[in-house]
Amino acid sequence: MERINIGLIGYGVIGQGVVKILKSRRKFYKDKYQKDFFIKTIADRSIVKKLSPGLDNTFLTPDYHAVLNDKDIHIVIELIGGMNPAKDIALSVLRSGKHLITANKELIANCGQELFKEANAAGRSVYFESAVGAGIPIIRTITEGLAGNKFNGVYGIINGTCNYILTEMSRRQLTFQQALKEAQEKGYAESNPTLDINGMDAAHKLVILVFLTQGKFVGVRDFYTEGINHISHEDIEFAGNLNLTIRLLAIAKRVGNELDVRVHPTLIPKEHALATVNGVDNAIFLDTDPLGDIFIEGQGAGQMTAASGVVSDLVNVVLRKDMAIPVWAGNPIEEGEGLTIRKIDEVETRFYIRFMVIDKPGVLAIITGVLGQHHISIASVTQKQENKGLTVPVVMLTHGAKEHLVREALEQINHLAVVRSKPVAIRMEKL
Ligand code: HSE
């Protein structure tokens, strides 16, 4: 029986979930693998308030140095999130010859390269299955299950909070604030939910997916990210009538020598698998070669799902000594290095646009005139109600149009006297 001494830094929602799983499976792991997974130390700033039964033999401390300085600890699980002090902790874990497991997407997205280098030098592992999709084994699917494939594109619903909000706004007519409050109460949101709703959480996860599939580390500031706080009931309903569903989509696809990488609310056909992903679920749709389309879905946020990813890392780090870091990319690294990111201005998508305009003759002619001047071709137009002389919503779907032309046209249209509020534009994606 080999004893595996674990140090856990950060005993919040996920940390407590990890302890629950290890407690219930400790005997099973002993019997199956002859390994005793023992949590030797837990460090958490407010550990006193979080004492839970069953940790009698575990040393509890507010000082994480007790974990870093303990030579008998083999593996450190970092679950405090954020960059500071998580980065310093991660580096000193590896430098002191311990393996690192983390669910910290921000850390891997910003410092992955540095950490992997450090791990290679130290002959230690960095595992981070829970950083994307919580317990959904997307990282292992890409790096191991799809190792024989090249990746043309990744399309992900990778923020549970946003998906929960959008689904519940649509299904139960909740307001944005009501749905957000519920997501927070259920423990899906980050401690600062702004990162969820402004798309940054999904952007961090997308950086990881881009690296794993394309072999290129991109920065979150290198691509366009837009959140969901401007999405209204009306647009969800109008789009629904056009057979479209709205989801916060993280997209990364190869277009020649460019990578089209972005995160934004996206309208997708109702019949596509991604449109059926509801509530807190996450899903990743991969366009691979030669395997073709792969779709993986599961609960993407929450205590036990994230904890399940962490525990699977733990078991794999211990059992798979052959696999130091799950970092090899699906596409050759040299190819990835040559790729540039397509500027959002140059991206071409179809658009849903809602105008609030005065209902009188000639209004549509003015608007379509401006769109025409910007080479934007209209696929359909619907006026949502009749209200002579008063304000009415007009919804248009465009054909593929360049982002900067749409932005310029809408700026011009916004200044027209017949237009009563800022037009709402939502990108559509062909999948
Ligand atoms: N706040 C994240 C989400 C949790 O809502 O998806 C998992 O990263």
Question: Which structure tokens are listed for 187?
Answer: 């423990």
CA distances from 346 to 4, 61, 267 (A): 52, 52, 19
CA 252, distance to chain mean position in Å, is: 12
Candidates 283, 263, 153; CA nearest to 213 is: 153
Q: Alpha-carbon distance 299 to 301, whole Å?
A: 6
Q: Could you give the residue ranges of the DSSP H alpha helices within 292-355?
A: 303-319, 333-337
295 CB-side CA count, 13 A: 9
Phi-psi region of 330 (alpha: psi -120 to 50; beta: other; left: phi over 0): alpha
Query: Each residue of 173-202: pLDDT tens digit?
Result: 999 999 999 999 999 998 889 999 999 999
Q: Which tokens sit at 416?
A: 């027209």
CA-nearest of 84, 87, 61 to 7 is 61
Q: Distance from the CA of 15 to the center of ligand 1, in angstroms?
A: 15
Is the pLDDT reported for residue 278 higher than 90?
A: yes
| H or E, element range at 241 | helix 233-241
Check residue 56 and give its pLDDT. Answer: 79
Q: Is the CB of 106 under 6 A from ligand 1?
A: no
Active-site annotation holds for 205: yes
Percent of the chain scoring above 90 in pLDDT: 86
A 10 A CB-CB count for 88 gives: 12
Cα separation, 399 vs 265, whole angstroms: 18
Contact 289, 147 (CB under 8 A): no
Q: Is residue 398 very low, low, confident or very high in pLDDT (cuts 50, 70, 90)?
A: very high
Buried b (16+ CB within 10 A) or exposed e, 332-348: eeeebeebebbebeebe
Q: Which residue has the higher pLDDT, 400 or 46?
A: 400
- Residue whose CB lies within 8 A of the most ligand 1 atoms, among 80, 105, 132, 159, for a mutation test: 159
DSSP 141: I
Annotated catalytic residue within 150, 205, 216, 253: 205
Query: Is pLDDT above 90 for 367?
Result: yes
The finding on whether 159 has its CB within 6 A of some atom of ligand 1 is yes
Mean pLDDT, residues 241-248? 98
Let me know how long the chain is.
Answer: 431
Encoded tokens for 50 = 């979080």
Can you tell me which atom of ligand 1 is nearest the CA of 302? 4
Provide the CATH topology of domain 2-134+304-320: Rossmann fold (3.40.50)
- The widest CA-to-CA distance across the chain, in whole angstroms, is 83
Per-residue pLDDT tens digits for 287-340: 999 999 999 999 999 999 999 999 999 999 999 866 665 555 567 777 777 899
CATH of 138-300, one of 3.30.360.10, 3.30.450.20, 3.40.50.720, 3.40.50.300: 3.30.360.10
Whether 201 lines ligand 1, by a CB cut-off of 6 Å, is yes
Q: Residue 82 — pLDDT band, cuts 50, 70, 90? A: very high
- Is domain 345-428 classified as CATH 3.30.70.260? yes
Q: Where are the domains of the chain?
A: 2-134+304-320, 138-300, 345-428
